């Protein structure tokens, strides 16, 4: 999905490109994404659990957040509403019980970005030949890294690296804890939203290399997904790239 948003017939504000691949291991793609340039809104979600209904949770997450932001709500309110929707869907249908989703959301107002995150889907800023991870994973191993118990390198191969400490739909939480980040985009900066299917395969230096070598968002999206697949690509892989026009 490629898009352009025109504030007026002559003013183009953003460029974006979305891509998703089922990967080599799973029978269904439980990642979901949404691009709503008219709202300056992009969403990536990674579903899990619920008798393979993770795709229901991730799709519900994307749709509910878009609906709520469109109604004028903040990202925090929208994400809490998505959390409640997944819980309600789990109670309404036993097949959905226990399903959940990560989410990373980008909202752009002119060049000012706000990013909200729950779980281990990530946002990165690629600016002037450097790559900065904006979000911090809500995982058991990230907590160990923060406490100095293990190194980031050890976290990558830790047997419990997939355990999330936050997820939409988690029945133990009446509300989820949402991380919010904000900043200003310069012309040429690119924001990357992605699921762990990408980042479990590609280290930051590789992501930066591919972003630096490609001139269009379409090329970059293709190159990132292909590289993750070449390195094994078991999990579902989803990403969105956004930049100022
Ligand atoms: Ca995943």
Reported as a single tens digit per residue, the pLDDT across 44-102 is 999 998 777 999 999 999 999 999 999 999 999 999 999 999 999 999 999 999 999 99
Give residue 2's pLDDT: 53
What tokens were used for 54? Answer: 């993770």
User: For position 49, what pLDDT does the model report?
Assistant: 87
C-beta separation of 100 from 86 below 8 A: yes
pLDDT tens digits along 101-149: 999 999 999 999 999 999 999 999 999 889 999 999 999 999 999 999 9
**pLDDT score, position 52:** 76
For ligand 1, the distance from its centroid to the CA atom of residue 10, given in whole angstroms, is 39
Q: Where are the beta strands (DSSP E) in 30-111?
A: 31-36, 41-48, 100-101, 103-109
Q: How far is CA 102 from the centre of its chain?
A: 8
* Distance from the alpha carbon of residue 187 to the mean position of ligand 1, in angstroms: 31
Give the model's pLDDT for residue 245: 92
> What is the band of 208 on the pLDDT scale with cuts at 50, 70, 90?
very high
* pLDDT score of 13 more than 80: yes
The label of the residue with tokens 């479990």 reads 200
User: In angstroms, what is the span from residue 203 Cα to ligand 1's centroid?
Assistant: 16
Tens of pLDDT, residue by residue over 181-207, are 999 999 999 999 999 999 999 999 999
- Distance in Å, CA 197 to ligand 1 centroid: 5
Statement: residue 9 has pLDDT above 60: no
pLDDT of residue 1: 53
Is residue 10 pLDDT above 50, yes or no? no
Q: Ligand 1 centre and the CA of 16: distance in Å?
A: 22
Could you tell me the distance, in angstroms and rounded to a whole number, from the CA of residue 45 to the centre of ligand 1? 9
For ligand 1, the distance from its centroid to the CA atom of residue 196, given in whole angstroms, is 5
In DSSP notation, 105-143 reads: EEEEETTEEEEEEESS-EEEEEETTEEEE-S---BHHHH
What average pLDDT is seen over the chain? 93
| C-alpha 12 to ligand 1 mean position (Å) | 33
| Cβ-based neighbours of 8, under 8 Å, separated by 6 or more | none
Spatial contact of 180 and 116, defined as CB atoms under 8 Å apart? yes
Token readout for 129 is 């030949």
Q: How many Å lie between the centroid of ligand 1 and the Cα of residue 72?
A: 30
Phi, psi (5° rounding) for residue 240?
-130, 135
């Amino acid at each position: 999905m490629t898009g352009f948003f025109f504030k007026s017939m002559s003013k183009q504000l953003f460029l974006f490109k979305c891509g998703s691949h089922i990967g080599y291991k799973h029978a269904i793609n439980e990642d979901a994404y949404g691009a709503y340039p008219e709202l300056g809104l992009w969403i990536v979600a990674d579903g899990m659990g619920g008798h393979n209904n993770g795709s229901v949770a991730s799709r519900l997450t994307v749709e509910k957040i878009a609906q709520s932001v469109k109604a004028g709500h903040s990202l925090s309110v929208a994400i809490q509403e998505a959390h409640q929707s997944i819980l309600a869907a789990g109670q309404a249908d036993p097949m959905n019980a226990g399903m959940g989703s990560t989410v990373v959301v980008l909202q752009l107002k002119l060049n000012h970005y706000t990013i909200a995150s729950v779980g281990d889907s990530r946002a990165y800023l690629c600016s002037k030949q450097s790559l900065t991870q904006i979000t911090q994973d809500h995982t058991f191993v990230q907590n160990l890294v923060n406490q100095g118990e293990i190194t980031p390198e050890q976290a990558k191969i830790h047997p419990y690296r997939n355990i999330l400490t936050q997820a939409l739909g988690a029945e133990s939480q009446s509300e989820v804890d949402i991380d919010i980040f904000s900043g200003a985009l310069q012309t040429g900066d690119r924001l990357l939203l992605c699921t762990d299917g990408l980042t479990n395969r590609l280290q930051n230096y590789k992501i930066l290399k591919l972003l630096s070598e490609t001139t269009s968002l379409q090329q970059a999206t293709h190159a990132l997904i292909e590289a993750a697949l070449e390195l094994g690509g078991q999990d579902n892989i989803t990403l969105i790239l956004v930049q100022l026009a």
